[in-house]
Structure 1
Amino acid sequence: MNSEYLLGLKAATWNNAQLDCSVKGAKLVEIESPEEDAYIHSLANNLTESVWLGGTDLAEEGKWVWQSTSTLFSFSAWDTATGQPDNWTTISTV
């Protein structure tokens, strides 16, 4: 986990969040381990909005890949009890 993380202060769509990261030479977070997942949860735990991750199934519904590399997830911990992942809500904090 030699990464830096930035939580934005305004709500944005996934596309706008991804674009904002790209302009800054960054990408939406791509969780690669249980440890990184726990860390991201700890950062986002006190937010009132959800946060975006860098996963997408735009190319093929239900086939989740990281947007920056188009590689399948090597780690996932979806909250299937709440139907995640989904794109039901189009606004999140970036």
Structure 2
Amino acid sequence: MSNVVSIPDSVLEAAERLTVKDLLECPAFQAFFVSAVGNSIQSFHEFADVMDERDEFLMFRLQKMFKSIPWDTRKILFDEVGRLYSARREERENRR
């Protein structure tokens, strides 16, 4: 099992006002969100001992949504995340 942390209730309450659609429509979050969902789908078995039925259903729904995004679109988003991480790493190295 990986580390499981408790998110403060105030953060969870604020999150209730956000939707997956909000994250997918926002250019600043779109690539990172799709990448995070894809990574989570690939490693959710690591959390099998702490997941309940509700978590498993959420994973099923996210996996279904994720797979409905055309591969070419996912690839563009994954590449964008890689580009952004590389640019950030280069910026940090240039500040040294």
Question: Max radius of gyration: which structure?
Answer: 2
> Of the two structures, which has the highest relative contact order with CA contacts closer than 8 Å and spacing of 6 or more?
1
TM over 0.5: no
TM-score (norm 1): 0.30
Which structure has greater helix proportion?
2
Which structure has greater strand proportion?
1
